[in-house]
Amino acid sequence: MSDTLPYATRFGSNSGQSTSRRDGVAKVTGAATFAADNHPQGLLYAVYVPATIARGRVTHLDVAAAKAHPGVVEVMTPQNRPALAGDPDSKPFMFAFRFEALQDDTVRYANQPIALVLGETIEAATEGARLLNPQYQVMPPRVGLDAEAPYKVVVGNFGRPGETVHGDVAAGHAAAVQSVDVTYETPAQYHNAMETHAVVASWDGDQLTLDMPHQAIVMSRGVFGYYFGIPAENVLLRSPYLGGGFGSKSIANGPQVLAILAARMTGRPVKLMLRRDQMFGPVGHRGATRQRLRIGIDEAGHMTVLEHEALAATSTFDDFVENAANASQGLYAAGALRSAHEGVRIDIGTPGPMRAPGEASGSAALECAMDEMAERAGLDPLEFRLRNYAETEPGTGKPYSSKALRACYAQGAERFGWAGRPLKPRQMRDEQGMLVGWGMGTALFPAPMFAAQARATLRPDGSGLVETAAADMGQGAWTALAQIAADGLGLPLDKVEFRSGSSDLPDGGIAGGSGHTATAGTALHAAGVDAVRQLTAMAVSDPASPLFGAGNASIVARDGRLFVAEDASRSDSYADILARAGGQALVGTGSGGRAPEAAGRHAMYSHGAVFAEVKVDPDLFQIRVTRLVGAFAAGRIINPKLANSQLYGGMIWGISFALHEEARFDPRTGRIMNADFAGYHIPVNADVKGLEVITVHEDDPFVNALGIKGVGEIGITGTVGAIGNAIWHATGTRIRRFPIRIEDLLAHA
């Protein structure tokens, strides 16, 4: 089959269409089966007991009282916990964290599991957990970024360097005629997907079946196999539906492992589903940061230096430091660049990847600092960014695989009306007398790929079946991947069955890093191409086929038929070709991933620009985001409806980051004081107005075979800074901590 023909010509036009979610009806009607909806026979209910202190040890649990309660079957504590084959304090895999699984009586943070109660009913297990009445030896908690001396990060998250330097930083500072030196802080933020973490675990000998929401379905088999001493192939993990993930459902955690261990201990299936307040501790979060940015410019407003240092909170027993300073790499042209990270160990659960890890926090500070530099130089913020536009990746000099950021700036600014923005702050009011401010921020996120496999089957009736263990946590993978697969097979979408969400299928890779559609999609596409290639070989060598003798290179596949490219009257249906060959199904396989040399030659990112309008009450300083316009370039858009949905979601999260979201710690106890939706604020419908997304056309011939980048995380990265800058433009007050609160503005009134 010719590789010179356009993709749509070869495989149809399912891609690029705003197809509605294939799983939407099941979700809204309740037919979708999430992890906790599984009720195998003999099920026990597990409730984990969270520590109510942040540092110390457990001195007593009233196990007898708990076990005496009707319906309580067992209580697991450090004294009777069965042994694990793998050490929970080891890190045997890149995506493994150290966690608490009742190794001993030590308490390392509030909400840590200190016991597990099993009951015939959830009510019995809950009451049994209450009756344990834990007693503690309490030590003073370490809370906040100043609690301990920081340490230098040498190797950061997932192998990234803790410090990166390009050029002569000292010379860049010396050459600057104007500069800013500012510090921003971002808070701890906690994953709060609609579906909390859950698991239903069943053992059959040494065969383990897990129903749980997971973002890395096949990879996790080896992780759980390690902890329980069984081969990875003995683990069946089913995760057809996820109610959100944001990074937290990609890594094994203590409560899950304890529930699986309890199922082995009792010989019965066990279900555990975390309460909302239990999400604040053992399942990861975005760590708090303090970031210092120093920017210098020359007489023409060109940056001589950009230095970004980040201090981030992590736990006392593991290393995951929010790599916020990396947001300054890869975006703006500067004579010298430096990003560096330090960590501080405090009594919290270990942070982890949370939607746009590093880039969300880092870009919030960077984009505000860029506006402060623009103000110092007397330049419009957009003009300042354009003066420092990078034509190649800063520091490395690599060409971008594609970069339509100029078009994002232009289209976003035009739609927003940026040209009418006054340079000085506090110059605009609406008809009600509200202060009006306009701000902007640049959006940037890497375009990674992982490894994946897929299988495509052409059935005797001419329909298709495609299979890969992908994860749909709300981003629409079931739909977008099916569209790619249908085009790969040359079939209409309604003729393709898509199977996913189970570890006994080919490995669909990781749903994370905004790389899932690209990774699993290229595998599915390749599998479809392989199947059609085999089918074509059958047809052109079959004297009974109208395509006999045509040769593979002249054949195209479309709508379940093969055509001669130069003579569309010569065609043959899939069903007829297969019938003449004996009526057997035909199977193609494919893999996804990017060759290392491809990534080495080019810098690969999605780009964007976000423009924000806020209105601020001049007396009460209540803040409203009244308009957001985001323009994004992310390669080939497979499904505009779903892509826009992801971009909207990212921008809404940006509103949350800028104005609402913050975990508040009690300095006396180390406990989170707002571990619920009443106190942990996120935006509601009334907070989101005037949201608009523009997807800028972009062809990327290098990023992967399909030209796909990602849209899941980039929407946050420009939005937070844009809102912070708009608040300054409205009020004339620069707040350097997020979320920006009414009392922050009142303090400067």
pLDDT per position as a tens digit, 55-108:
999 999 999 999 999 999 999 999 999 999 999 999 888 778 999 999 999 999
At 597 the pLDDT is 65
Provide, rounded to the nearest whole percent, the portion of the chain with pLDDT above 70. 98
Domain holding 557, by residue range, is 7-28+451-593
pLDDT higher than threshold 50 for residue 6: no
At 552 the pLDDT is 67
Please give the tally of structural domains in the chain: 2
Asked if 506 and 395 sit in the same domain, the reply is: no
In a domain, 305, yes or no: no
pLDDT higher than threshold 90 for residue 2: no
pLDDT higher than threshold 90 for residue 293: yes
Q: How confident is the model at residue 600 (pLDDT cuts 50, 70, 90)?
A: confident
User: Once rounded to an integer, what is the mean pLDDT over residues 329-358?
Assistant: 97
pLDDT tens digits, 564-595: 988 888 999 999 999 999 999 999 999 998 76
User: Once rounded to an integer, what is the mean pLDDT over residues 595-616?
Assistant: 89
Identify residue 327 by its one-letter amino acid code.
A
pLDDT higher than threshold 70 for residue 279: yes
In a domain, 287, yes or no: no
Q: Of 593, 624, 643, at which residue does a domain stop?
A: 593
How many Cα atoms within 13 Å fall on the side-chain side of residue 487? Answer: 24
**Do residues 195 and 244 make contact, with C-beta atoms less than 8 angstroms apart?**
yes
Distance between CA atoms of residues 204 and 591, nearest Å? 32
Distance between CA atoms of residues 222 and 231, nearest Å? 7
User: Once rounded to an integer, what is the mean pLDDT over residues 243-259?
Assistant: 95
Which strands sit side by side in the sheet containing 135-138, from one edge to the other?
106-107, 56-60, 135-138
Distance between CA atoms of residues 700 and 720, nearest Å? 27
Q: How confident is the model at residue 725 (pLDDT cuts 50, 70, 90)?
A: very high
Rounded to the nearest 10°, the torsion over CA 687, 690, 691, 692 is: 180
Asked if 528 and 629 sit in the same domain, the reply is: no
pTM, two decimals, is 0.96
Distance between CA atoms of residues 632 and 715, nearest Å? 8
At 554 the pLDDT is 83
For residue 400, the domain's CATH number is 3.30.365.10
Asked if 620 and 536 sit in the same domain, the reply is: no
pLDDT averaged over every residue in the chain: 95
Asked if 550 and 611 sit in the same domain, the reply is: no
Asked if 568 and 588 sit in the same domain, the reply is: yes
At 595 the pLDDT is 66
Asked if 575 and 691 sit in the same domain, the reply is: no
Distance between CA atoms of residues 147 and 165, nearest Å? 28
Q: How confident is the model at residue 4 (pLDDT cuts 50, 70, 90)?
A: very low
At 568 the pLDDT is 83
Q: How many CB atoms are closer than 10 A to CB 5?
A: 15
Distance between CA atoms of residues 122 and 622, nearest Å? 43
Q: How confident is the model at residue 452 (pLDDT cuts 50, 70, 90)?
A: very high
User: What DSSP character marks residue 454?
Assistant: E
Tokens standing for 568?
A: 């569309």
Q: Which string of DSSP letters, residue by residue, matches 310-343?
A: EEEEEESS------GGGGGSSSB--S-EEEEEEE
Q: Residue ranges of the alpha helices (H) in 229-280?
A: 254-266
pLDDT higher than threshold 70 for residue 432: yes
Identify residue 498 by its one-letter amino acid code.
F
Q: Of 547, 566, 593, at which residue does a domain stop?
A: 593
Regarding beta strands 567-573 and 586-592, do their DSSP bridges make them parallel or antiparallel, or are they unpaired?
unpaired
**Do residues 488 and 529 make contact, with C-beta atoms less than 8 angstroms apart?**
yes
pLDDT higher than threshold 60 for residue 3: no
Q: Of 577, 593, 609, at which residue does a domain stop?
A: 593
Nearest to 264 by CA among 239, 240, 229: 229
pLDDT tens digits, 500-521: 999 999 999 999 999 999 999 9
Nearest 5°: phi and psi at 151? -125, 150
At 553 the pLDDT is 73
∠ Cα 727 732 733 (to 5°): 70
At 591 the pLDDT is 95
The gap from C-alpha 329 to its chain's centroid, in whole angstroms, comes to 20
Residue from 74, 467, 713, 743 carrying the catalytic annotation: 713
In a domain, 669, yes or no: yes
Query: What b/e sequence results for 92-103 when a residue is b if at least 16 CB atoms lie within 10 Å of its CB, and e otherwise?
Result: eeebbbbbbbbe
At 213 the pLDDT is 97
Cβ neighbors of 101 (< 8 A, separation 6 or more) are: 81, 84, 88, 113, 254, 257, 258, 261
Nearest to 438 by CA among 723, 726, 631: 726
In a domain, 399, yes or no: yes
pLDDT higher than threshold 90 for residue 453: yes
In a domain, 61, yes or no: no
At 5 the pLDDT is 34
Asked if 610 and 585 sit in the same domain, the reply is: no
The end-to-end CA distance of the chain, in Å, is 69
**Do residues 282 and 253 make contact, with C-beta atoms less than 8 angstroms apart?**
yes
How many Cα atoms within 13 Å fall on the side-chain side of residue 135? Answer: 5
Asked if 528 and 396 sit in the same domain, the reply is: no
Q: How many CB atoms are closer than 10 A to CB 6?
A: 8
At 11 the pLDDT is 43
pLDDT tens digits, 404-417: 999 999 999 999 99
Rg for the chain, CA atoms, rounded? 27
Asked if 434 and 456 sit in the same domain, the reply is: no
Asked if 738 and 617 sit in the same domain, the reply is: yes
Q: Tokens 């937070």 label which residue?
A: 720
Q: How confident is the model at residue 150 (pLDDT cuts 50, 70, 90)?
A: very high
At 7 the pLDDT is 35
Tallying the residues shown for the chain, one arrives at: 749
Q: How confident is the model at residue 666 (pLDDT cuts 50, 70, 90)?
A: very high
At 12 the pLDDT is 53
**Do residues 269 and 210 make contact, with C-beta atoms less than 8 angstroms apart?**
no
At 179 the pLDDT is 98
Asked if 564 and 609 sit in the same domain, the reply is: no
Q: Tokens 């070989």 label which residue?
A: 537
In a domain, 368, yes or no: yes
**Do residues 310 and 327 make contact, with C-beta atoms less than 8 angstroms apart?**
no
Asked if 485 and 607 sit in the same domain, the reply is: no
Q: Between 566 and 235, name the one with better pLDDT.
A: 235
pLDDT higher than threshold 60 for residue 1: no
Distance between CA atoms of residues 164 and 161, nearest Å? 7
Tokens standing for 621?
A: 């300083």
Nearest to 712 by CA among 411, 476, 358: 476
322 a catalytic residue: no
At 447 the pLDDT is 96
**Do residues 473 and 219 make contact, with C-beta atoms less than 8 angstroms apart?**
no
In a domain, 674, yes or no: yes
User: Once rounded to an integer, what is the mean pLDDT over residues 119-147?
Assistant: 98
Tokens standing for 217?
A: 């379905």
In a domain, 461, yes or no: yes
At 159 the pLDDT is 83
Q: How confident is the model at residue 596 (pLDDT cuts 50, 70, 90)?
A: low
**Do residues 76 and 114 make contact, with C-beta atoms less than 8 angstroms apart?**
no
User: Once rounded to an integer, what is the mean pLDDT over residues 361-369?
Assistant: 98
**Do residues 175 and 304 make contact, with C-beta atoms less than 8 angstroms apart?**
yes
The gap from C-alpha 569 to its chain's centroid, in whole angstroms, comes to 48
Nearest to 260 by CA among 308, 315, 214, 305: 214
pLDDT higher than threshold 80 for residue 153: yes
